[in-house]
Structure 1
């Protein structure tokens, strides 16, 4: 058998990053009509960074089994080196199913790590070539050429120049394209609007599972790929900000809720507030000609939802808006002084009834009501439960896939947060808006 190279394409989905496509590098051109999914088999072994196989317990099982096996191939067709479909080519794309074996991250809400997906693709049926009478047979693709992820275009990583109190935060960031507006940003019937000379800055704070933790060898990429924070850099949400918004995603060394005594306590204080504010200031100063300091929006999920509230509380004159998602900011800390300070920043809370980790009755709901009673600009989208609203994911019986109710950030990233607690649409200038569209209208 001949050993050849392949590339993978990673999709950043609602349930984490996964390998959605394998690009095979063939020795000869093949035609679309001669390629079919059953011409190949794909075996994947998921390994930790030390080379060991990931061991997992499936539902109902008492023993851990190796996370390895054959993955589903949905479609096959000639393509270019990036996986775009062609009529004929020496590259072939295999579209793969989203399943446990194609997942790039393993872990839970309190800690996760990237894993390596070692893939071996074997040709199991002969394939005719464009020029030549001898068909291809017996090919094996087991050497990774490239790992591609289109959603990470224009994303970069960095680290604070000056530590604060011994804390230096690493971060990922998206740099918007300030070139003339892409017509796609305006839609098919609207006139393209010019992009701003200075763009808004969206600061997004990850959850507990995406901090550095034990994965000290990893960079900050997990902070914005572990959950689909990259949705903020894509057209639907960028469009609200005139087609150009910076995105800054700091990575916490432990947990944002770390108060120096407990990493996940109830004090609702953090040892990272000063360092995080310094990072934001440093980032704005580095891009002062292209960031509108009156349009800095902070948002976050779970642990990062807490930190969103904390930052708006500690710096009440700084942020244009805050969007805390399933935020554990507890009732005992919601003092009149806290409400007065928080009321200076427009806030939009997102939570789900029955949240298994953060009880809204002890956190977001009383905080929302106290702010509303104080006359603050505050909204809250409250879901009965969390299930897929995109139509992509289904249960075995065909109903929308349900997930744990804490994972309400899925709706935040899909831009489904549009109603207030009373079920009415949130309006800006009389027009219904989503939380991101509302944020784009805010100015400090």
Structure 2
């Protein structure tokens, strides 16, 4: 009995010693700190329905860390936004809410075993202004990219087999990615002393003719940086896989005016544009330089100020374009003559707008123009008149739980997401399906 007791006591003692040794070793590892090189960060920008947003930062940690060593509490993320165009450049500052965090490779893809980078995804939304890398200047009525200065500060230890990583501060910006926008090229051309910049997307070469989609930007996207013309709102989405699939690959040309398309020869929005001749020359030159563009399938659209220019282009060149899709167009109906209505009525046109648009009230712009075209005998002219402009993703809601509502002028959101549809010849047809089927040789 005594012998058995001593045996069990010895085993218990050994277990206690082993446990103490293990605990001591574990605490020693946790207490040990490892050195890393200074941390840096990259940004990832996505063009959302309301405009561009920095959706995540990729933090370089300096050494490999295990997959489960990063959480949403590991870092806090502070940003300060400033716009050099302003007399007082400072716009705002604050902390971004981290919604997801994981260990990743250099490109931000989830790591398989270990990784030297941490991806911090952050809250975005139409009212989360801290996320925006762009600012609208009220005095110039133009958007521009701004300086978003991030400081990512470590709050909790990062445990690795070699020891703890502590005290990381990432405040050195090493570059950024703009999804879809980076797939566009850019250029400029001068005609008659007028210089236009442009962004363009070219589909993969497939030994076939490809259509050309021309998109004319709104009032806030003028300037000399054509990335703004496709980023101020979601025009870059014409290069998305979904939209491109309707056309089996399409060119996208987004010309940019240094001011506004509505700068007329005698006044603002007078039914003319001092950029019209240069724009038409740019389009023709672009088509000539890209031999695989199908000249029977040149499609033109634009929003607001760009919708105004779309109307001028099809009014004065009705036989050049296969179809048009003016969105919240800003050419007053009273500036369109009966003769011009007759010249446009054979061209397939799909108008898009919203009843809540107070910038270009539909009763003065699109509705009477559409009615006149129908009365003139137009056979393939359509109008999608939405009650309002709301979030259709289900992600953003008002306080009462109903979908978030955008400014009624923003009907372009429905266009970019291909959420415009109508029953045509007994079949529900989306805008992109309709555009893809248009050709001068029909």
TM-score between the two structures when normalised by the length of structure 1: 0.86
- Separation in structure 1 between the aligned mates of residue 366 and residue 398 of structure 2, nearest angstrom: 30
C-alpha displacement of 1:251? 0.3
The one of 197, 200, 217 aligned to 1:206 = 217
User: 2:236 — aligned with what?
Assistant: 230
| RMSD over aligned Cα atoms | 1.8
Is residue 2:122 matched to residue 1:96? yes
C-alpha displacement of 1:323? 0.2
- Separation in structure 1 between the aligned mates of residue 356 and residue 220 of structure 2, nearest angstrom: 20
**For residues 273-422 of structure 1, what are the structure 2 equivalents within 5 Å?**
273-288=276-291, 290-376=292-378, 377-419=380-422
8 Å contact from structure 1 (residues 23, 83) kept in 2: yes
Is residue 2:260 matched to residue 1:255? yes
C-alpha displacement of 1:146? 1.3
C-alpha displacement of 1:174? 0.5
Q: Deviations over 1:45-86 (max 9, x none)?
A: 00223698655xxxxxxxxxx410111111110112121112
Is residue 2:77 matched to residue 1:3? no
8 Å contact from structure 1 (residues 2, 140) kept in 2: no
1:108/1:308 CA distance change after superposition, 3 Å: farther
SS at match of 2:78: strand
C-alpha displacement of 1:108? 6.4
**For residues 71-220 of structure 1, what are the structure 2 equivalents within 5 Å?**
71-87=96-112, 88-98=114-124, 99-107=128-136, 110-129=141-160, 131-132=161-162, 134-160=163-189, 163-178=190-205, 197-212=208-223, 219-220=225-226
8 Å contact from structure 1 (residues 210, 222) kept in 2: yes
Bigger radius of gyration, 1 or 2?
2
1:399/1:54 CA distance change after superposition, 3 Å: farther
C-alpha displacement of 1:121? 0.2
SS at match of 2:330: coil
TM-score between the two structures when normalised by the length of structure 2: 0.87
Moved segments of 4+, more than 4 Å:
50-55
- Separation in structure 2 between the aligned mates of residue 384 and residue 54 of structure 1, nearest angstrom: 38
User: 1:47 — aligned with what?
Assistant: 82
C-alpha displacement of 1:236? 1.5
* Matched pairs, number: 398
8 Å contact from structure 1 (residues 323, 347) kept in 2: yes
8 Å contact from structure 2 (residues 181, 230) kept in 1: no
8 Å contact from structure 1 (residues 237, 437) kept in 2: no
8 Å contact from structure 2 (residues 83, 135) kept in 1: no
Q: Which is worse superposed, 138-147 or 104-113?
A: 104-113
C-alpha displacement of 1:434? 1.1
- Separation in structure 2 between the aligned mates of residue 51 and residue 324 of structure 1, nearest angstrom: 33
- Separation in structure 2 between the aligned mates of residue 53 and residue 104 of structure 1, nearest angstrom: 17
- Separation in structure 1 between the aligned mates of residue 178 and residue 246 of structure 2, nearest angstrom: 24
Q: Deviations over 1:257-278 (max 9, x none)?
A: 111332x33x211111111010
Is residue 2:71 matched to residue 1:36? yes
Any unmatched runs of 5+ in structure 1? 56-65, 180-195, 213-217, 420-424
8 Å contact from structure 2 (residues 106, 116) kept in 1: no
8 Å contact from structure 1 (residues 16, 104) kept in 2: no
8 Å contact from structure 2 (residues 238, 252) kept in 1: yes
SS at match of 1:395: coil
Quick check: which one's helix share is greater? 2
Q: Deviations over 1:130-154 (max 9, x none)?
A: x41x111000001111111232243
Q: Deviations over 1:81-105 (max 9, x none)?
A: 1211124201110001112111011
- Separation in structure 1 between the aligned mates of residue 40 and residue 361 of structure 2, nearest angstrom: 49
